[in-house]
């Protein structure tokens, strides 16, 4: 990434933040704390470190992710807030006593990601989300700003960044790598639903291996119906 291009991209994000502030809008960021999450967090830490960064603590994350989250928070001085499901783990089992992620991962994602995110969105005006077009078919249909319910807005500052641009930014600023990437984990979510790239035959490089599932729900449940319909046509 050229110095000029990098500066332009980061300046655009900073200007967008300034615009939201001038309009009196309350903002928050969500992050999964993977390696590709770091450029956005690093950019925000330089001019808006007070912005709350919500982490969906499902209780099923890899220990490495939890440790990495702590390291990044310390290094960047981030204002991280854990979000947990209002449904206890005892209420997340089917009639046979198995956790829902075994036979119904969509419902597991709803309980641990969609449901706890609802009150967070209700408290703010703008949700800053680091998704990129090159990640899934659904994300390829998104716009930089997407309207949510009740007049809320979701802003995607990294939407047109590529994996190469993410890597170059990380190298330039010496940002660390999630420790599981060295073991072949290229998309890291909850332990039960994540496989290394070598083990996976599914999409998104190891998430929900063997299934057609590509999204956990927080990307699809809150955006406008038009985006959902367009993504369905591409499947």
Residue 227 banded pLDDT, cuts 50, 70, 90 = very low
User: Does the pLDDT of residue 226 top 60, yes or no?
Assistant: no
**In the structure, what pLDDT confidence band is assigned to residue 43 with cuts at 50, 70 and 90?**
very high
Find the catalytic residue in 108, 190, 193, 216.
216
Backbone dihedral region for residue 143 (phi beyond 0: left; psi -120 to 50: alpha; all else: beta): beta
Tokens of 229: 């319909």
Contacts of 161 (CB under 8 A, 6+ apart): 9, 39, 132
Angle at 60 between CA 149 and CA 192, to 5 degrees: 105
Lowest mean pLDDT among 17-31, 136-150, 185-199: 185-199
CA distance 112 to 115: 6
Q: Model-level pTM? A: 0.83
pLDDT over 60 at 208, yes or no: no
Whole-number pLDDT of residue 90: 84
Mind listing the pLDDT tens digit for each residue in 75-127? 999 999 999 999 988 888 888 888 877 778 888 888 999 999 999 999 999 99
Active site residue 216: yes
Question: Would you say 113 and 213 are in contact if contact means Cβ atoms under 8 Å apart?
Answer: no
Unique residue bearing structure tokens 């990098």: 6
Homologous superfamily, domain 3-234: HUPs (3.40.50.620)
Quote the pLDDT of residue 217.
56
- More confident call, 214 vs 149: 149
Contact 165, 138 (CB under 8 A): no
**Domain spans in the chain, listed from the N-terminal domain onward:** 3-234
HSE-up (13 A, CA, CB side) for residue 163: 6
Integer Cα distance of 58 and 49 in angstroms: 24
Q: Is the pLDDT of residue 72 over 90?
A: yes
Q: Provide the angle, in degrees to the nearest 10, between the axes of the packed helices 3-22 and 38-47.
A: 60
Query: Which helix (H) or strand (E) element contains residue 100?
Result: helix 100-103
């Amino acid at each position: 990434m050229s110095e000029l291009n990098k500066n332009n991209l980061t300046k655009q994000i900073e200007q967008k933040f300034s615009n939201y502030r001038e309009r009196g809008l309350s903002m928050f960021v969500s992050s999964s704390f993977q390696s590709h999450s770091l450029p956005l967090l690093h950019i925000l830490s330089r001019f808006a470190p007070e912005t709350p960064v919500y982490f969906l603590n499902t209780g099923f994350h890899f220990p490495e992710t939890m440790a990495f989250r702590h390291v990044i928070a310390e290094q960047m001085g981030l204002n991280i807030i854990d979000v947990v499901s209002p449904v206890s783990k005892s209420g997340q089992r089917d009639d046979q006593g198995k956790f829902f992620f075994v036979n119904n991962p969509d419902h597991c994602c709803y309980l641990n990601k969609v449901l706890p995110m609802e009150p967070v969105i209700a408290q703010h005006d703008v949700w800053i989300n680091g998704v990129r077009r090159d990640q899934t078919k659904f994300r390829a249909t998104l716009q930089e700003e997407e309207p949510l319910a009740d007049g809320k807005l979701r802003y995607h500052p990294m939407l047109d960044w590529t994996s190469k641009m993410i890597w170059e930014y990380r190298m330039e600023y010496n940002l660390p790598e999630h420790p599981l990437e060295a073991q072949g984990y290229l998309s890291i979510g909850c332990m039960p639903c994540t496989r290394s790239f070598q083990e996976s035959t599914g999409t998104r490089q190891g998430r929900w291996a063997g299934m057609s599932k590509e999204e956990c729900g927080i990307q699809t449940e809150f955006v406008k119906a038009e985006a959902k319909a367009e993504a369905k046509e591409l499947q």
